[in-house]
Structures are given as structure tokens and as C-alpha cells.
Amino acid sequence: MASFMCDIVTPDAKLASVEAEMVVVPGAEGSMGFLAGHEPLVSVLSDGEARIKAAGSGETKSYVLQGGYVEVSADKVIILADRAVSSDEIDATAVRENLAVVEGKMASLTAEEIAKTTLASDKVWYETQLRVVNAA
């Protein structure tokens, strides 16, 4: 099967650069899959799991994404995520603890005060990580 490059990039760093056979991302209107030779596309991502099937080995690697965009060309997929982490690196216990801390902070604030913080976004980030880890 033909291959192409797939990069996952966040504001902090390039998380991955993989020669892939297939990439599946969480699109705003549902999952989208890409193979080599795909028509050019730019689309909004939603929070969820991206899966990259490596060329040759057939191994599929999973990443948790929060927000961002995907840019597709015939020979490259670039995932520009607000946040991303390899699902292999997620410590579910630590994520649950972080989620509890965020929820505790949110409980003591009004909706207006919460809107001035990143707490709601952080809560969704931790919930998304747990959802992906629990589905595996």
C-alpha cells in the first residue's frame, strides 16, 4: 500500500512524524480517514482520538487530540492540534487526579468566573484522555 508522511504538531512541539498507510482523525462532523493520494483538504478537528497506521509494520499508534485542524495533501497529513499526547503516555490515575482538582476549582466559581479561565478546556482535555484510554 502507498504511504505518506503524517505529522502531529502542537504549539509546544512536533509530537510525531510517521510514514503512514492510513490516518484517522476526529473531525467536527465525524471521523475522517486518509490514504495516500487523498484530495487536498483542510478541516476542523474535534476532541478525540487520532490513529496512525504505520507503513510497512501495520502497527497503529493512537494519540489524544484537543481541538485544532488537519491539513491533507496527496502525500502528507499535518495534524495541528491545540493539545496532543500519545495514548501510550497517558497515566489514567494522574489524569483522574488532575480532573478532580479542576472540578474542585470549578465548583467554587461562578459560570462567569469559569469563563475567564482555562478550567473548562482543561476539564474537557482530561475527560477526553480518559475516554480514549477507557475505550482501548
The pLDDT, as a whole number, for residue 72 is 96
Give tens-digit pLDDT for 28-37.
889 999 999 9
Give tens-digit pLDDT for 58-88.
799 999 999 999 999 989 999 999 999 999 9
Both 56 and 121 in a single domain? no
- Work out the end-to-end distance of the chain between its first and last CA atoms, rounded to an integer number of angstroms: 26
Both 14 and 68 in a single domain? yes
Averaged pLDDT for residues 13-42: 94
Task: Output the domain CATH number for residue 13.
Answer: 2.60.15.10
The pLDDT, as a whole number, for residue 136 is 67
Both 61 and 103 in a single domain? no
Say if residue 130's pLDDT is above 80. yes
Residue-number span of the structural domain to which 129 is assigned: 91-135
Whole-model pTM: value is 0.91
